[in-house]
Structure 1
């Protein structure tokens, strides 16, 4: 007997979504399973936010189907098991953070405690502040607390750290990692590739409304042949950048960093040109290089 495959917690099946003459999503298939953190990547306008809106029932597809917990995203049962942190949302500026949390918690049968929401989202000392008086980073923390207070099985985070400084972003990352470790499935849209590398165990890349890559971080990285070379060298990065097979050469934290299509040849040339070179390390290129390589040659909808 074949094992029964678990139903995806969130799913797009053959979805087409148009806005006038523009096709935002073209035959998109997407699945989020229990225990996953899925990063949905793409340039601005690739269709990431449209996909989230379809899964939340905020939009209807022109073709195909959007499912949340196996049913329509517009059903109360599905919505009560989902949390969402959108790029923009109508939150009453005059209410205090604690009042907002109390109100939102009252919508759910078994909400998280105020203390747990505060700890996960990093809201210590802010419950008495009016939402409109919070900084941008503090507002994003409050939005995360509101998104998780109902103990969602599925959490949607749409560009959660856009415009925030690295310290605030890392604080939010800690909260997301804690939620994932506790069993919450998370669909994250982001254009910060390091965010996906830190948080996600699976990546889907959209380009011009189409899925162009879908797999683990390692599988997506494997789509490109580039390697990154790091070493301690006195060579001028501008000179190295002109060598054949070198895509970029920069100095990062005092070390020379080279992205290349021909790691062996470039490494030999580095050693020959700088006998004092030390700490040579060759690794697969990161998600940023893979993302650029995958999306670079994708045709637009108009050209398709």
Structure 2
């Protein structure tokens, strides 16, 4: 079932077109990654979908009809790159003030437990570490029991343990509630768990597919051989069967080898280039 669509969504700032005729389809219960280099238009797209920016042209369709943010604001949760919580208030006060904004908020205690907030519940938000803040940010965004959660680079700067924990919790929530997630990230390995991926560059969608589909279209598998004479060879191959054939043929000459499928890093670099933006 389609939950959110955009048709030819465009945003211009003067003569600069930040988002150029982007069309997206987000199905209920999916986790969708929106990837792209710095300045590609990801955050501008997200900001239009959550109502921070007004589109220059194009349609946003939530559910069955073309709409505007006021018609579905209560159905979404948002975690921005930079926190919007009050640093002087405690975690408890930030969470409870948010809960009072809704007639039927989610049971806050369940979020406290899922995101392991008990030990920091009475601490000022401003005293927390980056990982602690991010857990609070996401828990707060879920208080309204949204159908759709937007995460704009939610794991930037976090250690691997915190990143892993956050994605485990979100995956659990998806299974339990059918939560739909749209996220941006520069940690491309995180996108490998997405149901669908859009890659954006210079304001346009330049590729879209499942992770497997993108890897099949835009990468090759890598086989690196180290020979007994000390030399090495790296080659691209289509599949693991080709790798097995090469290893069988060259077996006596090989001292070591490494085989790996193409990754989302490879997809991204092949599509957007290697230049620093």
With normalisation by structure 2, the TM-score equals: 0.87
Structure 1: state its 5+ residue gaps.
1-5, 247-258
Q: Is 1:260 matched up with 2:236?
A: yes
> Which residue in 1 is equivalent to 2:36?
42
Aligned residue runs from structure 1 range 134-173, under 5 A: 134-173=128-167
Distance 1:262 1:200, change over 3 A: closer
What RMSD, in angstroms, separates the aligned Cα atoms of the two structures?
A: 2.9
Q: Is 1:184 matched up with 2:184?
A: no
Distance in structure 1 (CA, Å) of the matches to 2:59 and 2:145: 26
With normalisation by structure 1, the TM-score equals: 0.80
Would you tell me which structure has more helix in proportion to its own residues?
A: 2
Give aligned pairs, total.
271
Aligned residue runs from structure 1 range 20-31, under 5 A: 20-31=14-25
Runs of 4 or more consecutive aligned structure 1 residues displaced over 4 Å after TM superposition = 230-236, 261-270, 280-283
> Which residue in 2 is equivalent to 1:130?
124
* Deviates most, 283-292 or 222-231: 222-231
> Which residue in 2 is equivalent to 1:3?
none
**Aligned mate of 1:286, from 233, 239, 263:** 263
> Which residue in 2 is equivalent to 1:296?
273
> Which residue in 1 is equivalent to 2:67?
72
Displacement after TM superposition at 1:233 (Å)? 8.0
Displacement after TM superposition at 1:208 (Å)? 1.1
Question: Per chain length, whose mean CA-contact separation is higher, i.e. which structure has more relative contact order (CA < 8 Å, sep 6+)?
Answer: 2
Contact 2:219 2:266 in 1 (8 A): no
Aligned residue runs from structure 1 range 194-205, under 5 A: 194-197=189-192, 199-205=193-199
Contact 2:225 2:254 in 1 (8 A): no
**Aligned mate of 2:86, from 92, 107, 121:** 92
Displacement after TM superposition at 1:270 (Å)? 9.5
Distance 1:267 1:120, change over 3 A: farther
Contact 1:223 1:294 in 2 (8 A): no
